[in-house]
Structure 1
Amino acid sequence: MKLNWGTGIVIAIIGFISFIMYFVISMSTGKSYNHDLVSDKYYQKELEYQETITATKNAKALKENISIEQSIGGLIVNFPKDFDYTKISGKVFLYRPSNKQLDFEIPISLSKTYLLVPEKRLLGGRWNISVSWNYNNTAYFYQKELIY
Structure 2
Amino acid sequence: MKINWGTAIVLVFIAFIVFIGYFVVIANTTERTNHDLVTEDYYQKELGYQADLDASRNLNELNSNMRVYIRPEGLLIEFPESMLEEKVKGTVSLYRPSSKQLDFDEPIRLSDSQMLIPRSRLLAGRWDIRIFWEYEEVPYLYRKRMVL
| TM-score of the pair, normalised by structure 2 | 0.79
What is the match of residue 17 of structure 1? 17
| Correspondences of 1:108-147 after superposition (within 5 Å) | 108-147=108-147
Tell me the distance in 2 between the aligned counterparts of 1:70 and 1:31: 32
What is the match of residue 51 of structure 1? 51
Please give the per-residue CA displacement for 1:94-143, whole angstroms capped at 9, x wherever unaligned.
22334432222110133431112123222333322110111121111101
Alpha-carbon offset, residue 92 of structure 1: 0.4
Tell me the distance in 1 between the aligned counterparts of 2:123 and 2:4: 63
What is the match of residue 29 of structure 2? 30
- Structure 2: state its 5+ residue gaps: none
How many residue pairs were aligned?
147
Alignment RMSD (CA, Å): 2.6
Alpha-carbon offset, residue 21 of structure 1: 4.1
Task: Describe the shift of the 1:91–1:69 C-alpha distance in structure 2 as closer, same or farther (beyond 3 A).
Answer: same
Task: Describe the shift of the 1:41–1:28 C-alpha distance in structure 2 as closer, same or farther (beyond 3 A).
Answer: farther
Q: Percent identity?
A: 46
| Correspondences of 1:78-97 after superposition (within 5 Å) | 78-97=78-97
| TM-score of the pair, normalised by structure 1 | 0.79
Alpha-carbon offset, residue 18 of structure 1: 4.6
